[in-house]
Structure 1
Amino acid sequence: MGAALPHVFGVEKSCLLKEALEKASPVPRGREDIKRLLKLHKDRFRSDLQWILFCADLPSLIQEGPQCGLVALWMAGTLLAPPSGTPLESLVQVAKERGYTAQGEMFSVADMGKLAQEVLPCQAELLSGGLGGPNRHRVLQHLVTGHPLLIPYDEDFNHEPCQRKGHKAHWAVSAGVLLGVQSVPSHGYTEDPELAGLFYPVPSVPCQLSCLPEEDSPGAVYLLSKQGKSWHYQLWDYDQVRESNLQLTDFSPSRAADGREYVVPAGGVQAGLCGQALLLRPQDASH
């Protein structure tokens, strides 16, 4: 299958977006997008490691307004109910009817999980206590299996995770992982013909999870992530994502003063987002 143009929700309302979309090149599929990043930023990645890429292809959707969480859920839904997924309009409508959102914002991982299970054919597991410790292995296993992960974090100017105490709270979906290992198992993996040291699992061979990097191995795990302000994948250092997710405590003062309505759960941003993520699986998948 060839690369497809990204989806843009509400594009008919924006001549500028429409013009940009029509002039844009097709968005590369996941594996090619990651290879582009590895070539472009090769100095970021440890040269003493070999790399294994587990990657599921996600479509792109440019958000309109504060709908980053619902856009991330829509992208994840295409893996849970392919090929077309559930329309974003349906997610927005049900979220408003249930009182989870006023204009598309989602400040509760628990509400996001309830919405996912109602609208998408999926299982939703709320992960609390952060992405480190015992949760780390669960998250990596989940991604290696090919299932999506929804993560709230603080968004920096380049869309990467940062630490702003929740003032830049944003959502992303991860649909794969790049693992740095000392050596790749000889059976079940194939090397990229263009990039030496980059390997892919052979689809018909069960994955050997013993190769997962340990938690005390910095710079060895990168999440393949997409969010609603870019058409491309990004590779985010796992520890950077974990730290950003753990410090979501405050509602943005600029949002509080903008005169708009937002639905924030009891206990605020800290109760709704801090240290939490959402593991999504198809309805018939086993843990």
Structure 2
Amino acid sequence: MAASLLKPVQTTSLEKITQTALDKGYTAQGEMFSAHDMALLAEEVCGCRVQRLSGGMAGNNAMIIQKHLSGGQPILIPYDEDFNHEPCLRRGHKAHWAVASGILLGLVQGSVTSKDIPSDATLPWLHFYPGGVPPEWPMGAVKEVYILTKQGKSLHYQLWEFTSVTQSNAQLKEMDPQRASDGTHYVLPPGGVEEGLAGQVVLLYTCPQPN
């Protein structure tokens, strides 16, 4: 999904991505418990610049992530997946990856006008900034933050509250004990799921289009 956002004209097949991950030893069954390995895989199969953030999705990283999304750049986020694909808190037992590709800011009423940022023709309270990141980020006016996401098993895009994704991402501690003891070989980084995933995201930068 992220590859299609990075290279909309080209096709990066799931088979190629999976085989590359297998060949590099990043996965054994399709699992990916390392943000470091995910970043290396994305860099190789997409051929674009990749940045791995650690230390959680709050604080200074929150601004980096939000500005990255507002500029039309996708992000890969590990989190615990609930039955409806939304974030939950299961200590990593339901760890999955999602692709975030957009951001919705809930602002204080009146803090933005159509003169500042164009509004939608039918929904005048909805503003779209056409040039990516606004020149001045509306820091004091932001009341709510939602990100546009999609998980591989979901048929639809969803809006997730940024705080809930942040909390789910931070508490990835361990593999599901039932899965860990099922006799199947999985690739785990040194330090396990917590070391490999907790508080980490992978930022992808769109590739320049050929002339």
User: Is the pair's TM-score, using the shorter chain for normalization, greater than 0.5?
Assistant: yes
Q: Cα deviations across residues 240-279 of structure 1 (Å, max 9, x unaligned)?
A: 0001100001111121133322111110000100000000
Paired with 1:231 and 1:238, the residues of 2 have a C-alpha distance of 21
Question: Cα–Cα, structure 1 residues 107 and 213, in superposed 2: closer, same or farther, change >3 Å?
Answer: farther
Asked whether the 8 Å contact 1:188–1:207 carries over to 2, the reply is no
Pair 1:197-2:125 in alignment: yes
Structure 1 SS opposite 2:37: helix
* Conserved 8 A contact 1:141-1:209: no
User: Aligned residue for 2:101?
Assistant: 175
Q: Helix, strand or coil for the counterpart of 2:73?
A: coil
Distance in 2 of aligned mates of 1:202 and 1:228: 28
Cα distance between partner residues in 1 of 2:107 and 2:175: 39
**Contact 2:70–2:133 (CA<8 Å) still a contact in 1?**
no
Does structure 2 conserve the Cα–Cα contact (< 8 Å) formed by 1:188 and 1:206? no
Determine which of 275, 282, 285 is the counterpart of 2:199: 275
Q: Which residue of 1 aligns with 2:157?
A: 233
SS at match of 2:49: strand
1:100 aligned counterpart, secondary structure: coil
Among 123, 127, 145, which residue is 2:49 paired with? 123
Within a 5 Å distance, the mapping from 1:90-105 to structure 2 comes to 90-105=16-31
Paired amino acid for 2:134: C
Letter in 1 for 2:168: S
1:226-253 deviations in Å (ceiling 9; x for gaps): 0111121101000100011000011111
On the 8 A contact 1:124/1:279 being kept in 2, the answer is yes
Q: Distance in 1 between matches of 2:133 and 2:67?
A: 13
Runs ≥4 in structure 1, deviation > 6 angstroms?
Answer: none
CA–CA separation in structure 1 for the residues paired with 2:136 and 2:96: 30
The letter for the 2-side match of 1:167 is: H
Structure of higher RCO (CA pairs closer than 8 Å, 6+ residues apart): 2
Superposition TM-score, scaled by structure 1 size: 0.68
TM score, norm. by length of structure 2: 0.91
CA contact (8 A) 1:81 1:121 kept: no
Aligned partner letter, 2:172: L
- Distance apart, 1:282 and its partner CA: 2.8
Mapped partners of 2:87, 2:133: distance in 1: 32
Q: In structure 1, what residue type is equivalent to 2:122?
A: E
1:211 is aligned to 2:211: no
- Percent pairwise identity: 50
| RMSD over equivalenced CA pairs, Å | 2.0
Paired residue total: 207
